[in-house]
Structure 1
């Protein structure tokens, strides 16, 4: 351990660190307030050091961490970047993250912690310290962690090169790290009063729904108990169970199965509404105000880079990518995500990005023509499949066509399409057949993608991101069919994820030059949300739109729709830039 009290020893270490070509660092933080208490370093793959941290030592480390000539390596570095940024240190030249490298090599793994990777990649036993471990044991574990990270880097780099993932790693995933760290540090401002008022209204509605359901059932029961609901539906009310799913405990009362029962008895529809509102209330209206940081007045969610197998980002603590978009209270929740005084919320959303990607990947002439002509792809599909003029496409027919567009291109079969579009299985089969006649290129692409998955055991995006599919060789038909759907889904969804990541990286780099006070506050799959000073709206809108639309060239135009408002739920004005 380097002593901060011994000035000679401390300064000698800093001089040594500053001369290194590269080093591993691993931050230790306190559980209570996430303050940096120490940093372990590994140099040359041979020497490890532990440096206790205070404000003075961080100030002396700042020029080293910000030196672009020194490469920094680590494991799952986003949190470290955040903590250092909170202390005024903008880490430069992060050139390796062992967690991200492991994720790219095996995107279906359950976790990428050091203990697991040490075992699988280095054949080393590296258990976590016991809960009551001594400070000496914890210090030694931290130092050894830095050494393990160095060794993992040496093992993982050639693996990335061997499977052609190094370019994706260096040009997309690593540059995204500081972007996500900054988004998390930025947070999003919340008006808790809006949520509290909505929660009171929902509670009243839930009470009324409960009384209505009890009256239909002829007795009171626990509405949150599937077992009690099952007894009411199938024993007391005698509703037939034909066509419903069955689990270990009996007939399912899931949302999908209750949907099937709506015509059989009105209690099913009331239960669906009750569950939806109860979940909305507990997950968002009641929970979000409790998650507001007292210091910043904002919610600081996590955006996870190494979770989904397709390359998409996910969100947690809380999940801000799953905020409802429909219904009265879904809109209210988004209205609680507000812009501070003097600023506006600006949202940029890719329009039909996944369909544009499949049109390009499939080289489908009809779909490419529709996008190039600026036609509404769902209305166009409806017109072709139903054999009607565009002017005769009703909102209902367009909705069904939208379901077909997204469903069929993701491997949805006739049964799934029938349920989603609320049509018969016979009609669904006919529509799928007509769809592939209209979009012959898409049909060929889906077939070829499945064949590639069988030949190679994996599928990939335009940028080389891979998803391995061992399940496609399963003797179990359901497992095999699901793997085929994954094979179709991943190249499309994964490419969309890569495209928006590339746009985020470039916008993050260029935004301070255009509007220093603007910030990215959310990423929701195909949408980026910003907080922008009112005076900079047009400049930022132009930068964001141009970047998102020109970040890659497909065979069809890429369109980013820009909207602004005082809150995320009031994006009424669409800027023309």
Structure 2
């Protein structure tokens, strides 16, 4: 039996600090016994962020890393490093020491190492662990950490659900992760005041790196690169090594004084909470709800979302912060009047079935064997029909001496008529998961009227949506956690081994709390027609997404298997050849061993050194040495093939369900604040379609014999939404006249007739059109187009002269967002902008850009949901054999029998265009092919 892979969870504590502060942590305060006024908001939010993350990402080793006071080695290299950053706000600085203290009490190792940055400590721990086969998860919003990403190291951003693994980096930046440092070196880092090559923006950097393969190769070919950017590159060649030393994350920090056991990870093994210290701390800083919860006096007012139940993610996304205390009107926690039944006899079952059939609304929950909703089996079911009353039916607990339980098949057969009755209204927390679980047992649940997770998502998108968190802030109730029942880490037991009495209390509590939370949130939705509409859209979308997930998409597994086999054989061959050249076996991923073999044994020249003076063997060095030596060339080929195999050809086939050969992705609704969907296992949103590898992946999504794949995609949807919400006459006219909007913009900006617009002018106009939607500044436009700032300012000024409605929209939206703290989509979805009322400088500018763009992204998300719901209704009503199998960004993907292709080509665009009456026509375009790639 193979050893369980361990996990290291690292938190970029400095990133968390600022996020906690600007997400509202600058507002709360308390007067301490000595009369000092202490800000506490960031402390409070940080507690919730850390707890939420730890429960969302189970790990064996944990550390929270902060920047230490004082200069670092980078300041010695370049005195202007971070010179233009605003000083830390005093109100945040005063909260740092308490935050360090409470994070330690919560069971985390806290590190702040002088002379280096938090990123360097994270990089050292991540690489040290990854080299031992440990999976590493780094939680940070800092994109610079992407240079660390490899097969073992993944960066997650809990604020937006972004996952920067190998595929995620490729999709986001357009280059593989091993080129991220080269990319950063070229574009520079304005936040840290590290110059790159002037006028070289992301597009140029990606173009060069994909064309030449590495920064060193770009440098070697600098004389061949023309234009202003080529001249700028040649002028910057002497600076690039210094810039690289500033941007390179150290992975060899000396941490012996802090973690003497390294490279062993035992000194940062996950620790238990120090309950006594936490109670004292919480009382000192005024967190009475937290203190009472730990001391057992009453329910906790702020513990973040509990860990997912076995087989059921109680929250779709980790949240940022909970409210400081429950609302004053929230009901008091109940402790003595709960009536929870465990159903072990048919007599009691019949009694409860009668209650279910008589109830107006029933909260329903399942306990299962797996987090995989397509494979999960029922262990038990709970119901709640009124506050304080719930029951649990255990059907598959399998521990020694477990009491006799009712037969699962008989229980489900007796429940099936009620479960499938659309008039018997039901309520759930993440009800889509439970629908899948029942479907695995042959039951198609009908009558799901409400979902508390979606209620929270619509009402309070910026908050956590897990049941535990909802109960905390809306009811003042806390409950049993999954870890309380099953333990943690390697010792965690599956739910079917949990004692039935404990499982009953846990599951009944969930159903009871779900019903209670609904009674608080539903009246708020009923009182706001726009939010009620969005909630009803989300409920309908949950039904449609269930259908899409259930359908799945067929995967061409034999082809992928053949490719993986061929890649595997070549990888083994390369290892053997590398050993022969080196004259010994060695770890192909070990920089230390590579350095010894390259420079000491084989006498290769040292191309460059790391910031600490070590001989570098990074990707750039390998590529340079490969020009003259066979071993580096073998290693480069080995790495490239291993990444291709591990990321694509192996995993995709493994994700297919054996019973049908299809991949059934999971769509998460309650993640993105804009309303966009996210998907995982596999993540369909991040397939890198700019590359041949990405297109190859899409080719594996195929149709069965007698069918084709069809893709229906909204055309220029966000520009059309901009025309609608800005009410700009020229933009409206361009769309109504069916013009190429980029060509029309070019004609307006450059003052030429539409038919005389050059391809270069159209390209500039396209960048302006999309750039302004995303709040691009003149500086950003200049970098994107490779022009000077004055020219960029002139282009923007001319754009706003021609499209004054757009300028008015942007100015009005900025002011509205700052005054009310949120913006809305066309349909009324509320998009929160936490911290915008008090933000300043770069923080404010970023939030204002988000305020301008969010209504367009959010409206586009609403439109694609309206479309997929409408299309599914028509497919059902007309009993079509066509299946909707994916929803990706603004695209719907179908599996279409040959005899329905012509119908689909006509009807789907018509349906998608007709879901909303905007001031401009909506346009959807359809492509058809044997696989997803060929359908474009």
2:416 alignment partner in structure 1? 62
Q: What are the ranges of 5 or more consecutive residues in structure 2 without an aligned counterpart?
A: 1-340, 396-407, 488-497, 575-586, 596-605, 612-618, 621-626, 628-632
CA distance in 2, matches of 1:43, 1:346: 44
* CA distances 1:168-201 after superposition (whole Å, capped 9, x unpaired): 2443011111111111111111113444566689
Q: How far does residue 562 in structure 1 lie from its aligned partner after superposition? A: 1.0
Describe the superposition over 1:390-447 as per-residue Cα deviations: whole angstroms up to 9, x where unpaired: 3444444433322211111221112222233333333222221121112111111111
Determine the structure 2 residue equivalent to 1:175: 540
Pairing of 1:177-576 with structure 2 (within 5 A)? 177-195=542-560, 282-571=646-935
Please say if residues 18 and 64 of structure 1, whose CA atoms lie closer than 8 Å, have aligned partners that are also in contact. yes
- Cα 1:69–1:193 shift into 2, 3 Å: closer
- Contact in 2 for aligned 1:463/1:495 (Cα 8 Å): yes
Aligned equivalents of 2:590, 2:921: Cα separation in 1: 48
After TM superposition, the structure 1 = structure 2 runs for residues 65-80 of structure 1, keeping only pairs within 5 Å, are 65-80=419-434
Residues 392 and 195 from structure 1, CA distance in 2 versus in 1: closer, same or farther, beyond 3 angstroms?
A: farther
Structure 1 gaps of 5+ residues are 209-220, 230-234, 242-254, 259-265, 573-577
Aligned length: 532
Displacement after TM superposition at 1:164 (Å): 4.5
The answer to whether the 8 A contact 2:710-2:896 is kept is yes
Q: CA deviation at 1:276?
A: 9.6
For the pair 1:88 / 2:442, whether they are aligned, the reply is: yes
Q: 1:550 and 1:3, CA in 2 relative to 1: closer, same or farther beyond 3 A?
A: same
Q: Which has the higher contact order (CA 8 A, sep 6+)?
A: 1
Name 1:156's counterpart in structure 2: 521
Q: What residue is the counterpart of 2:263 in the other structure?
A: none
Q: Which residue of 1 aligns with 2:508?
A: 143
Secondary structure, counterpart of 1:96 in structure 2: strand
Deviations 1:198-219 (A, max 9, x none): 66898989x99xxxxxxxxxxx
Q: Spell out, residue by residue over 1:527-558, the C-alpha distance to the aligned partner (whole angstroms, 9 max, x if none).
A: 00011111111223333222100000111110
Q: CA RMSD in A?
A: 3.6
Change (3 A) 1:35 1:562: same
Q: Which residue matches 1:113? A: 466
Scaled by the length of structure 2, what TM-score is found? 0.53
**1:499 Cα deviation (Å)?**
1.0
**Contact 2:534–2:829 (8 Å) recurs in 1:** no
Q: Classify the secondary structure of the residue corresponding to 2:701.
A: coil
Q: CA deviation at 1:451?
A: 1.1
Matched with 2:393 is: 51
In structure 1, how many angstroms separate the alpha carbons of the residues matched to 2:756 and 2:639? 37
User: What SS does the aligned partner of 1:441 have?
Assistant: helix
CA distance in 2, matches of 1:387, 1:408: 19
Equivalent pair of 1:175/1:505 in contact (CA under 8 Å): yes
- Tell me, yes or no, if structure 1 residue 126 matches structure 2 residue 491: no
SS across alignment from 2:708 = strand
**In structure 1, C-alpha distance between the alignment counterparts of 2:850 and 2:565, rounded to whole Å:** 41
Which piece of structure 1 moves more, 368-377 or 91-100? 91-100
Q: Displacement of 1:350 after TM fit?
A: 0.3
Which sits farther off after the overlay, 383-392 or 403-412?
383-392
Distance in 2, matches of 1:324 and 1:364, equals 35
Q: Is the 8 A contact 1:458 1:467 kept in 2?
A: yes
Give the conservation status (yes or no) of the 8 Å contact 1:104–1:165. Answer: no
The whole-number CA distance in structure 2 between the counterparts of 1:201 and 1:187 is 27
- Tell me if structure 2 keeps the 8 A contact 1:515–1:536: no
Distance in structure 2 (CA, Å) of the matches to 1:432 and 1:274: 47
CA contact (8 A) 2:531 2:828 kept: no
Counterpart Cα distance in 2 of 1:355 and 1:461: 14
Deviates most, 376-385 or 161-170: 161-170
Alignment partner of 1:23 is 2:376:
no
2: CA distance, partners of 1:25 / 1:363: 46
What is the CA distance between 1:323 and its match in structure 2?
A: 1.6
SS of corresponding position for 1:470: coil
The CA distance in 2 between the partners of 1:386 and 1:278, in whole Å, is 49
Structure 2 distance, partners of 1:190, 1:419, is: 41
Distance 1:165 1:555, change over 3 A: closer
Aligned to 2:306: none
> Contact between 1:21 and 1:69, CA under 8 Å: does it hold in 2?
no
Asked if the contact 2:819/2:837 (under 8 Å) is kept, the reply is no
